[in-house]
Amino acid sequence: MIVLDPGHAPSIHAVDPRTGLDVSDYANEPEMRDVFAVAQIVRRELVAAGYRVVMTKRGVYDRVSLARRAQIANRVHAALALSIHDQAGYNGGIRFGQANSIVYYQSLGTYRASPDGRRTYFTDRQVAARSQRYGRIFRRQRALAERDGVRLQGNVGYNLGSRGLAAGNIWIVQLLSHVPWIYNEAGGNSAGRSGLNPADRHRYAAGLVAAVERCVPLSR
């Protein structure tokens, strides 16, 4: 069972009752449409190969909080979950395959803080070890498909509080997940446009599919 998590939703405000974390999400176009399209390609190919696949969103404009996304993967005991993001747009957008190709895995000691300062840490040693192993596979397979250097990171690399998000250094969906969760970033602009063209959507998807097939091989 593989869970695919295409990034972003129309603005949704939510607080996780257990941790007090802000689990809101916000719309981001054209990223939201592009990464949903990439997820659909990945889903089609994985299903054709014999995987069971659950998406955290059924449509581009589903309002799904970050906590709900994690809950979906936890509930189905996914072997692996993956988020798909990119950075697109005329302002601050990054060319696909040229930068911002990043694979994040879950590691011990990362955290996010609630508005009142309560920290929730990622503490699952077994999931952390598996997530790191899967992260290496994603880096390799994405680099082959995207023909770009892909960075591997065990934390976000800066304090997300500096962006007005909950303070800390792990993505919320990864923190609240009980299963290995790989969070993917990429450049979001194809040559001469804001957003991804079909060729780049397929390149992004191809790396993700190849990685899933190596992380969670199907028994034949």
Q: For binding to Zn ion (CB under 5 A), which residues are involved?
A: 7, 85
Minimum CB–partner distance for residue 66 and Zn ion (Å)? 11
How deeply is 110 buried, as exposed, middle or buried, from its count of CB atoms within 10 A (0-12, 13-18, 19+)? buried
Q: Rounded to 5 degrees, what are φ and ψ at 177?
A: -85, 140
Minimum CB–partner distance for residue 121 and Zn ion (Å)? 23
Q: Are 203 and 215 in contact (CB under 8 A)?
A: no
Minimum CB–partner distance for residue 41 and Zn ion (Å)? 18
Minimum CB–partner distance for residue 219 and Zn ion (Å)? 34
* Nearer of residues 93 and 154 to Zn ion, judged by Cβ: 93
Q: From CA 199, how far away is CA 90, in angstroms rounded?
A: 19
Residue whose structure tokens are 């089609």: 44
* Nearer of residues 79 and 84 to Zn ion, judged by Cβ: 84
How large is the C-alpha radius of gyration of the chain?
Answer: 16
* Nearer of residues 39 and 79 to Zn ion, judged by Cβ: 39
* Nearer of residues 51 and 65 to Zn ion, judged by Cβ: 65
* Nearer of residues 21 and 79 to Zn ion, judged by Cβ: 21
Minimum CB–partner distance for residue 15 and Zn ion (Å)? 21
Sign, Cα dihedral of 199, 203, 208, 209: positive
Q: Which residue is nearest to Zn ion (CB)?
A: 85
Please state, as a whole number, how many other Cβ atoms lie within 10 Å of the Cβ of residue 26: 12
